[in-house]
Structure 1
Amino acid sequence: MAKVRVIKKNDDYSMDYQVGDILEVTGTWYGGINVNSKTGIPLCLDKDEYEEIPENTDLSHEEYERAANYWKEKDAQSKKLDQDALKKAVEEYIQANNTCALATAAGDFVRCTPLEYTYHDDCFWIFSEGGEKFYALEKNKNVCLVIFDKYEGFGKLKGMQVTGLTSIVEPFSQEYVQAADFRKIPLKALEKMLHPMNLIKIKPKKIEFVNSDFKKDGADSRQTLICD
């Protein structure tokens, strides 16, 4: 059943409803809606007296804001790892893996794709034949990718979230050839394809790394590396 929030009282003499009350709608009429007051008394509210509450809203705006800012506030007070040591740990973890989940979005369209990557020259490089992620990449160059280990308990956490900017490398350009060589993809094989493989380049802006081992160095397990 739909619910509304009272935002104005046209009947100042009525004590059956107050501004801020959340009431269930029991019916409609030309000038507004019918509701039951908190005490169960039927009421008629004019259109300018209420606002609709979207269904399935589980948190208020303030609650969403508080939840979104949780780690920002936590990180501000955390024990930081030396940035050179952090960068070394970040790069070691990236090089120790080769698969990520790449999240792309534009408007209402979202996509999260498991992909193989290589990492060199401070960038991620991903060869791709195509896919719906390119709908988003055309309109929004901001992406997020994650790399993570299987969860085995709070004392063994290890995973990272990378926020970055994408660009599509021109096929068979110098960057393209170098990335193919690094990936050990024969150039002749790429040249024989009917449509050239797309090469996605991701330049990290921020890397958030959760690693329980950081506690051994007296730092918090969650660390943030801001990239140049």
Structure 2
Amino acid sequence: MNNKMESQELKQHIKDFLIEHKQGSLATTINNIPRSSPVQYFTDDNMNLYIVSAGGEKFNAIKDNPNVCLLVNSDYIDYKKIKGVQVFGKASTSLDNEDILEEARRYSPEPYIIDNNKTSLNAIKIQPEEIVYLDSLRDGDRTKQILKNNTVTMKADGNIGIH
């Protein structure tokens, strides 16, 4: 992936990848302690991400610190062959803003689940600030394309050891 993409092209690759997948790992922190939660998500037309959940510590963590990262990736073949997206952004929840659950319902591929469980479900909305895209499946090139403020930058990994 040595060729730098234009902003619109990178956005389309990111959107396609996020639509292709449904599950990710949501990283949050609470009291300076990091946590990671497996989640299912869906997106709106502006690449905001929504997670519907019955609850959990992630809601307390977001209240404490709204900075989050959602990792969505292909199957891990080895340390050189992977495709994925890291979405860094600000999260808000329906616990603090009831409109977020309605927004989630509007974009959900299965809105009836929210309709039938409104009293027991909450939603998280992630507004992306920076998105890192990596596709090293074909040639093992781990150069990352980073989308921030509609600008694309590239970052080469250099020499990578097994981690």
Please say which structure displays the higher CA radius of gyration. 1
CA distance in structure 2 between the partners assigned to 1:84 and 1:190 by the alignment: 37
Aligned pair partner of 1:185 in 96, 107, 111: 111
Specify the code of the residue in structure 1 equivalent to 2:111.
I
- Give secondary structure in 1 for the equivalent of 2:77: coil
Specify the code of the residue in structure 1 equivalent to 2:44.
H
5+ residue gaps, structure 2: 151-163
Question: Would you say 1:105 and 2:32 are equivalent positions?
Answer: no
TM-score normalized with structure 2 length? 0.75
Question: Would you say 1:225 and 2:147 are equivalent positions?
Answer: yes
Shift of 1:119: 0.6
- Once the two structures are superposed, residues 18-62 of structure 1 have per-residue CA deviations (whole angstroms, 9 ceiling, x without a partner) of xxxxxxxxxxxxxxxxxxxxxxxxxxxxxxxxxxxxxxxxxxxxx
Mapping of residues 102-181 of structure 1, within 5 Å: 102-121=26-45, 122-153=47-78, 156-169=81-94, 170-171=97-98, 173=99, 175-181=100-106
TM-score normalized with structure 1 length? 0.55
- Give secondary structure in 2 for the equivalent of 1:209: strand
Mapping of residues 80-95 of structure 1, within 5 Å: 80-95=4-19
CA distance in structure 1 between the partners assigned to 2:5 and 2:38 by the alignment: 30
- Once the two structures are superposed, residues 57-108 of structure 1 have per-residue CA deviations (whole angstroms, 9 ceiling, x without a partner) of xxxxxxxxxxxxxxxxxxxxx7522222111111100110010100000333
Mapping of residues 5-16 of structure 1, within 5 Å: none
Shift of 1:213: 6.3
> Which residue in the other structure is 1:208 paired with?
132
Going from structure 1 to structure 2, the CA distance change for 1:190 and 1:150 (only over 3 Å counts) comes to same
- Give secondary structure in 1 for the equivalent of 2:117: helix
Aligned 8 A contact 2:59 2:93 in 1: no
Specify the code of the residue in structure 2 equivalent to 1:135.
N
- Give secondary structure in 1 for the equivalent of 2:101: helix
- Give secondary structure in 2 for the equivalent of 1:167: strand
CA distance in structure 2 between the partners assigned to 1:213 and 1:158 by the alignment: 6
Aligned 8 A contact 2:23 2:72 in 1: yes
Identity of aligned residues (%): 29
